[in-house]
Structure 1
Amino acid sequence: MIKLGVLDQVYVNEGQTATEALQHSTRLAVATEELGYNRFWVSEHHSMPALAFSSPEVLVAHLAAATNRIRVGSGGIMLPHYSAYKVAENFRLLEALHPGRIDLGLGRAPGGMPLATRALQQDKYVDVNKYPQQVLDIIGYLNNSMPAGHPFEKLLAAPSISSAPEIWLLGSSGESARIAASLGTSYAFAEFFGTPGGEMATQHYNEHFESNHVLEDHPRSMIATLAICAETEEEADQLAKSNDLLFLGIRTGLEIPYLPSVETANNYPYTDADLLHIQQIRQRRVIGTPAQVKKQLLQMSKDFNVSEILLNSPIHDEKARIHSYELIASEFGMN
């Protein structure tokens, strides 16, 4: 049976403050841990009013402290903005505080619009082509395995501990899969973006994986997908309308500063082109009853050849959102 986890982007619901959204995320982490979910990841985005945070390492610390068993991690840290050494220090500290529970997901996307990228990289020269070397440096720092002759060979990423976070490379394209395979890291495909080609990306990763003597000696891949579950198809369809409108805004350049309520989504003056966009968006969503959702997730695990899936469930109503995770967990026999 596949393992299920959670990807939370901590949307600020319409009518809600960012503080309330963060409190909701904490309650969701506690609830999904009790339900038996395997991981709880949070993403990195900048200058986006609809999202309640921009520093995953800070939120990971908070969520790990609020839970006891579930793995908590970044999905992910946008590494080209930062020093590999500082990222290693941050996540070594998290691992020291919560041994065996921390995941370090890394990405190479900007995580925001160009203005935010310029601010993050102010007075710095950044070459995204150095991303693979940054990943190798982080592996070295976290595992005390810097190669001989490296300029920072003797540098300690404090604190000195015997364990290390799991390292995952994230992506929504074949390029990230190629990098992950060549470096011997685990790989996660962001299927919830709706980008085609994920099946080919995970296939390439699995077939071209080169073992890294410091990390796992076998390929390990998963996907993150959007899943919304309710007792009936009609209710699941209604709950999904909030995300329909939010992603429509992303596609058409209309920034919506919150996750809309179902009422707002139902009352929106959609054009024919809008409805076509939503129809296209829905093609890569998992929406339905528990049995329907389970069937689709199992099929996706076969199509992508993965044994783990993270579920992203942007539902406006907190109780309905947690209930969606409850229904899925029950259908998979997790609780």
Structure 2
Amino acid sequence: MSAAQRWGMTVPLEGLPLTRQADVARELEDLGYTDLWTAEGMGTDGFTPLAVAAAVTSTVHLGVAVAPAFTRGPALLAQTAATMVATAPGRFTLGIGASSDVIVQQWNGIPYERPLSRCRDLLRFLRTVLAGNQADHRYETFAVHGFRLGVVPDPPPRLLLAGLRDKMLGLAGAEADGAVLNWISADDVARVVPQVHAGGPGKEVVARILVAPTADAEHARAVGRRLITAYLNVPVYRAFYVALGRDDLEPMWKLWADGDRRGAVDAVPDHVVDQLVVHGSPEECREHVRRFVDRGVTVPVAHLLPVGVDPLQACRDLAPR
């Protein structure tokens, strides 16, 4: 990894108590990581860990990939982003995404309707208010009347949009500052990045990359298979992989639909796991991550999987060289 290349890590580190967040953030910055990014799904929220990191670091960039577009009201999301920018000026990026019907509707009781339009409307609203302007407008998917931020970030944060398929990637290029990619192989990056850059120059492409920091390939694959069956049967992810022409996942999808969960896990081929989960020695992991960068990712962000190793030691081993 060259000195100029950004190299991120997902925080908090799974397997460490949250009381250690501040110490971990300091060490990751000292190790040379340029970026600390959060996710927001089944674990922690996307902003509290970044606030902890902001208080104890000085140069590392902080980002959320991603905050669901439905689960916070537009004004609250803008307030949260503005607060992060004021806490860490010039060091925060807000990623938003449509998320899924599971998180939005089943877990939060919010109708999961018109996700593309919701993301477009939210980006336009955020652009307006984060620039210090008042929002008084009826968008297609929500209305905001008379709202203006009390804390106006200067400069405003960059806004990214998570995308999988053509329309969302095109929206990321047209109305956001770039895209967040997830559950994608290095080879497939080259197929989707041009759709983001079609929206104009200077687009950022953040990729959350699953990393199993172990040389035990069979253990890494076992962990990867369980994750792949859990995620790639969610309708939005399955549709993405169908669009990519991934026929090698058809047996897994059929067994899952038939209720054979164990059979579905066993049906995920080794080569699919090896494409979607980075594993091996530290140098082999870095080399795999470089493939993402070579194909157009500007900010690779490792997400360590629990494979029985000390996650902080894994961060030390995987630190930029």
Q: Judge same fold: TM > 0.5, yes or no.
A: yes
The CA deviation string for residues 25-51 of structure 1, in whole angstroms up to 9 with x for no partner, is: 554433321111121111112xx4xx3
Query: How high is the sequence identity, in percent, across the aligned residues?
Result: 14
Shift of the 195–134 alpha-carbon distance from structure 1 to 2, 3 Å rule, reads farther
The CA deviation string for residues 80-102 of structure 1, in whole angstroms up to 9 with x for no partner, is: 23322221111111211221222
Q: Give the drift of 1:114.
A: 6.2
Indicate conservation of the 8 Å contact 1:31/1:322, yes or no.
no
1:313 aligned to 2:301? no
Aligned to 1:132: 120
The CA deviation string for residues 71-128 of structure 1, in whole angstroms up to 9 with x for no partner, is: 2221111012332222111111121122122221111113744654452x28xx9643
Indicate conservation of the 8 Å contact 1:174/1:200, yes or no.
no
Amino acid at match of 1:104: L
* Partners of 2:114 and 2:231 in 1: CA distance: 27
Moved over 6 A (4+): 151-154
Indicate conservation of the 8 Å contact 2:160/2:176, yes or no.
no
Matches within 5 A, 1:204-223: 204-206=195-197, 208-210=198-200, 218-223=202-207
Aligned to 1:298: 290
Indicate conservation of the 8 Å contact 2:75/2:147, yes or no.
no
Secondary structure, counterpart of 2:66 in structure 1? strand
Matches within 5 A, 1:114-193: 116-119=106-109, 121=110, 127-128=114-115, 129-144=117-132, 150=137, 155-191=147-183
Shift of the 275–183 alpha-carbon distance from structure 1 to 2, 3 Å rule, reads same
* Partners of 1:250 and 1:150 in 2: CA distance: 36
1:281 aligned to 2:284? no
Q: Give the drift of 1:250.
A: 5.2
Q: Give the drift of 1:302.
A: 1.9
Matches within 5 A, 1:101-120: 101-110=91-100, 112-113=102-103, 116-119=106-109
* Partners of 2:95 and 2:83 in 1: CA distance: 16
* Partners of 2:32 and 2:155 in 1: CA distance: 24
* Partners of 2:22 and 2:162 in 1: CA distance: 23
* Partners of 2:169 and 2:113 in 1: CA distance: 22
Q: Give the drift of 1:247.
A: 4.4
Aligned to 1:7: 10
Indicate conservation of the 8 Å contact 1:174/1:197, yes or no.
no
TM-score in terms of structure 1 length: 0.72
In the alignment, which of 32, 39, 42 is matched to residue 38 of structure 2?
A: 42
Indicate conservation of the 8 Å contact 1:110/1:117, yes or no.
no
Shift of the 100–113 alpha-carbon distance from structure 1 to 2, 3 Å rule, reads closer
Aligned to 1:201: 192
Q: Give the drift of 1:237.
A: 5.4
* Partners of 1:65 and 1:104 in 2: CA distance: 18
Q: Give the drift of 1:63.
A: 2.9
1:86 aligned to 2:76? yes
TM-score in terms of structure 2 length: 0.74
Indicate conservation of the 8 Å contact 1:92/1:158, yes or no.
no
Indicate conservation of the 8 Å contact 2:84/2:92, yes or no.
yes
Aligned to 1:71: 61
Amino acid at match of 1:81: T
Indicate conservation of the 8 Å contact 2:69/2:96, yes or no.
yes
Q: Which residues of structure 1 form unaligned runs of 5+?
A: 14-19, 211-216, 254-269
The CA deviation string for residues 280-307 of structure 1, in whole angstroms up to 9 with x for no partner, is: 333322111233222222222223x223
Secondary structure, counterpart of 2:82 in structure 1? helix
The CA deviation string for residues 106-154 of structure 1, in whole angstroms up to 9 with x for no partner, is: 11113744654452x28xx96432320211110111122569x857697
The CA deviation string for residues 181-232 of structure 1, in whole angstroms up to 9 with x for no partner, is: 111422121135x6995432212112x124xxxxxx62222322112345xx
Aligned to 1:265: none
1:31 aligned to 2:15? no
Shift of the 59–8 alpha-carbon distance from structure 1 to 2, 3 Å rule, reads closer
Secondary structure, counterpart of 1:163 in structure 2? coil
The CA deviation string for residues 1-48 of structure 1, in whole angstroms up to 9 with x for no partner, is: 33210124754x5xxxxxx54235554433321111121111112xx4
Secondary structure, counterpart of 1:277 in structure 2? coil
* Partners of 2:75 and 2:174 in 1: CA distance: 21
* Partners of 1:114 and 1:138 in 2: CA distance: 20
* Partners of 1:111 and 1:32 in 2: CA distance: 34
The CA deviation string for residues 148-176 of structure 1, in whole angstroms up to 9 with x for no partner, is: x8576974212134222221112233332
Aligned positions, number? 285
Secondary structure, counterpart of 2:314 in structure 1? helix
